[in-house]
Chains A and B, each alone.
Chain A
Amino acid sequence: MGKQYEIPMGAQHISLLEPLHFKFTTENEKIIDATANVFYVHRGIEQACCSKFKFRQVSFVVGRVCGLCSISHSTAYSQVAEKLVKIEIPRRAKYLRMLVIELDRIHSHLLCLSHVAENSGFEALFMKTMQYREFSMELLEAVCGNRIQYDFSIVGGVARDLKPQVGQLILERLKKFKSQLDELVDIYQNNWTLSLKNKRAGAINREDAIRLNVAGPFARAAGLAVDVRNETEDLLPWKEVGFEIVTDSAGDVHARNMVRLHELFVSIRIIENIINGLPESALVTETKAFPDGEAAVRLEAPRGELFYYAKGNKTQILERLKIKAPTFSNVAAMVEAFKGNEYGSIPAIVASYDPCLSCTSR
């Protein structure tokens, strides 16, 4: 038995993208225990949504919860508010929401992949992935008018229409991106240097994933087929636009990379199907009703299942809004997956979790 050392990491650290604190107990460079503290960026958004802002304005406030999955938050809130005021949104609005969610997924997954490469010490791949990611940001700007903070979903529908020339632009760019994505898959799958840091690092098995209630690509990499897009059909018709679940069995960093990359192929297919078969209808369902009763909504954000609960009391201001972000479900498994790994592989493992703590602590 060697001597045990406690090594803290965070809340500010060169390899962490967000304020997150870990305390590792190590023995001969091997991690035997870890604890996590994640609530560093509490901003009081839930309270602001229930006191200061009217229910129609809240969809813009919750869009600021997260910079990466802004559209997932505002769509999930819009859906829960539509349940409270009891309206059905037009078909075209549903398709446009799915389009922006999938474009957002492309840029979020590529960001995560690039950070895994960077934290594994592969700076050139980080640059390459970021270079290929740029097209998705420009497409989002063309569709929503802004690179981040899309403000696209509003209560009752969507804020902007998709112009035919923008649709053509998206198809052209996606065609170009497909070959680039093949190149990225080749590098992430076969590169020997990257595999030294990624294969068998941060592994979690299927039983632990079920026990610890993991969500998103983290769970799918461990062989657990959980995806809200696969389970619900009532709010957004995912199956209609060609959704297929992607899973892997290894559960390590490499498997998570592969799940993310193969999900991009699914996203590309969904976007192409949406643009080729976009139905004609109005964009917004108008209503003068006030929110009443309770409702809950689940939506698949890039990082996993996003959960919204809202309660109205027939006034402009909501009585309660609860946001459960995907990273919150993953914290327990994050700590578990560290055990048994070398201390040096921590940065790559943390990046592969894709933690979004601004979402989690709101």
Chain B
Amino acid sequence: MKKSSKMKTFFKTLGNLFKKPVTTKYPFEQTYIPDDYRGMIGFDEKLCIWCRRCEMVCPPGAIVFSQDMEGKQTYHFNRAVCIYCTECVRACPKEGAIYQTAEPAKYALKEENINKVWNSLFEEALKSRAAYAFKKKRLAADKIAIKKPGDEK
């Protein structure tokens, strides 16, 4: 038993010398990708109802909404921070506003300086939202202040 098994392995190893490699030549040949691969997150601005639920549930914080002074929101997404867990798609109340495609995400390049740019963008987005909320609050307060003297009369 011992001897036959030893020789079997030896001949198999010899035979393997003349076999094709089992690995794929990756950059030239595409590796296996299933139909529902967890790829890039897409966003449809026309369908979005701007509830920001995707931003709230996102574990790594790869989605953020900034807001200008008129109250219009803009969607920002960082493909290098995203973990492609599909939690935003599950949380979205409007179907199709945020969706996942099977296309693999593009790698981040050093030239993009993605972390630094994203961190400053994230902070600015939060600040812009706070500024709009503050403006709205002040306008509401002004309205009350203008109305109040009228009511008294």
- Identify the A interface with B (CB < 8 A): 53, 56-57, 60-61, 124, 131, 134, 138, 141-142, 144-146, 149, 151, 154, 159-160, 163, 166, 186-187, 190-193
For residue A186, which residue of chain B has the nearest CB? B5
- Shortest CB–CB separation between residue A139 and chain B, in angstroms? 10
Contact pick for B1, options A57, A134, A160, A190, CB 8 Å = A190
Whether A145 lies near B34 (C-beta < 8 A) is: yes
Known A-B contacts A145-B38, A151-B85; A191 and B6 likewise in contact (beta carbons under 8 Å)? yes
B120 at the interface (CB under 8 A from A): no
For residue A154, which residue of chain B has the nearest CB? B87
Across-interface contacts of B1 in A (CB, < 8 A): 190
B9 at the interface (CB under 8 A from A): yes
With A and B bound together, what is the CA distance between A138 and B16 in angstroms?
Answer: 24
B37 at the interface (CB under 8 A from A): yes
Known A-B contacts A186-B5, A191-B5; A142 and B34 likewise in contact (beta carbons under 8 Å)? yes
Jot down 15 A-B pairs with beta carbons below 8 A, ordered by A.
A60-B59, A60-B85, A60-B87, A124-B9, A141-B32, A141-B37, A145-B34, A146-B84, A149-B83, A154-B87, A160-B36, A190-B1, A190-B2, A192-B2, A193-B6
Across-interface contacts of A138 in B (CB, < 8 A): 32
With A and B bound together, what is the CA distance between A361 and B83 in angstroms?
Answer: 23
Contact pattern, B 1-35, Cβ under 8 Å of A = 1, otherwise 0 = 11001100100010010000010000000001110
B73 at the interface (CB under 8 A from A): no
B128 at the interface (CB under 8 A from A): no
- Shortest CB–CB separation between residue B110 and chain A, in angstroms? 24
For residue A139, which residue of chain B has the nearest CB? B34
Across-interface contacts of B84 in A (CB, < 8 A): 145-146, 151
Across-interface contacts of B16 in A (CB, < 8 A): 124
- Identify the B interface with A (CB < 8 A): 1-2, 5-6, 9, 13, 16, 22, 32-34, 36-38, 57, 59, 83-87, 90
For residue B90, which residue of chain A has the nearest CB? A159
- Shortest CB–CB separation between residue B151 and chain A, in angstroms? 40
Whether A124 lies near B13 (C-beta < 8 A) is: yes
Whether B5 lies near A151 (C-beta < 8 A) is: no
Known A-B contacts A187-B9, A191-B9; A60 and B83 likewise in contact (beta carbons under 8 Å)? yes
With A and B bound together, what is the CA distance between A57 and B85 in angstroms?
Answer: 10
Most buried by A among B9, B22, B84: B9
With A and B bound together, what is the CA distance between A53 and B34 in angstroms?
Answer: 31
- Shortest CB–CB separation between residue B20 and chain A, in angstroms? 12
With A and B bound together, what is the CA distance between A53 and B87 in angstroms?
Answer: 14
Across-interface contacts of A61 in B (CB, < 8 A): 59
With A and B bound together, what is the CA distance between A307 and B9 in angstroms?
Answer: 42
Across-interface contacts of B90 in A (CB, < 8 A): 159
For residue B102, which residue of chain A has the nearest CB? A145
Closest 7 CB pairs of A and B: A145-B38, A57-B59, A151-B85, A190-B5, A60-B59, A142-B34, A192-B2
With A and B bound together, what is the CA distance between A62 and B151 in angstroms?
Answer: 58
Whether A192 lies near B34 (C-beta < 8 A) is: no
Across-interface contacts of A141 in B (CB, < 8 A): 32-34, 37
Given contacts A134-B22, A192-B6, 10 further A-B contacts (CB under 8 A): A57-B57, A60-B83, A131-B22, A145-B37, A145-B38, A146-B38, A151-B83, A159-B90, A190-B5, A191-B5
Whether B85 lies near A159 (C-beta < 8 A) is: yes
- Shortest CB–CB separation between residue B119 and chain A, in angstroms? 15
With A and B bound together, what is the CA distance between A149 and B59 in angstroms?
Answer: 14
Across-interface contacts of A187 in B (CB, < 8 A): 5, 9
With A and B bound together, what is the CA distance between A124 and B9 in angstroms?
Answer: 10
